[in-house]
Amino acid sequence: DGGITQSPKYLFRKEGQNVTLSCEQNLNHDAMYWYRQDPGQGLRLIYYSQIVNDFQKGDIAEGYSVSREKKESFPLTVTSAQKNPTAFYLCASSDGTYNSPLHFGNGTRLTVT
Amino acid sequence: KQEVTQIPAALSVPEGENLVLNCSFTDSAIYNLQWFRQDPGKGLTSLLLIQSSQREQTSGRLNASLDKSSGRSTLYIAASQPGDSATYLCAAKSINDYKLSFGAGTTVTVRA
């Protein structure tokens, strides 16, 4: 089955540590996205990539970094510079055309204490 | 900057009742309006995508309408079932920056 796999499902880290969230897709999609979801708020865009080896900052990129070395993979690193990292993180992909729907993974819930 | 609003934040209906979910957006310069479903602790599932040139889209018991001039979209779910209980989110894709702006969602509970 084609889809997006995010791992792990739950992640716990101590404050001051960097952590990397995995996102892999086998949909052959060019575009990939990272969103953050907080209770009572809409999804907010962290980073996106429309092609391999290229990515752009979204609305809340501070404290995060990404790479896109392979078409199917778009890992997100939450650095110690992110002030409030505890959240639900969602990875998504699309074929990159204007009217293509977004496909989402099942998310990673990160808790930093 | 596009602002997307969904009111109410939550609603509860008895099984069999038709559901009407509202979505409003501030900037009518959009490529499309998308509706998603989210189950607790899960990712989003795409339900319907309405292109800016379209007035509505239908899939089974779901029908979504789009009125760009008034900045509104409505998702209708006919004959609701307990399995329809979830959070429904809408998102508008802006022509200016190609980004999707999401509403906070409406959490629906269908009572058996």
Question: Which residue among B4, B34, B98 places its CB closest to the CB of A42?
Answer: B4
**pLDDT at position A1, please?**
61
Q: Are A6 and A23 in contact (CB under 8 A)?
A: yes
Of B88, B103, B77, B107, nearest to B24 (Cα)? B103
Q: Do B9 and A106 touch (CB under 8 A)?
A: no
DSSP letter assigned to residue A96: S
Cβ-Cβ contacts under 8 Å, B105 against chain A: 42
HEC string for B41-72: CCCEEEEEEEECCCCEEEECCEEEEEECCCCE
- Smallest Cβ–Cβ distance between A102 and the set B31, B42, B46 belongs to B46
% pLDDT > 90, chain B? 96
Distance CA(A21)–CA(A32), nearest Å, equals 14
Six-digit token string for A107: 């998310």
**CA dist B27 to B24, B54, B71, B101, Å?**
10, 17, 7, 11
Which chain B residues are within 8 Å of A103, Cβ to Cβ? 46
What are B45-90's pLDDT values in tens digits?
A: 999 999 999 999 999 999 999 999 999 999 999 999 999 999 999 9
Who among A6, A99, A106 is closest to B32 (CB)?
A99
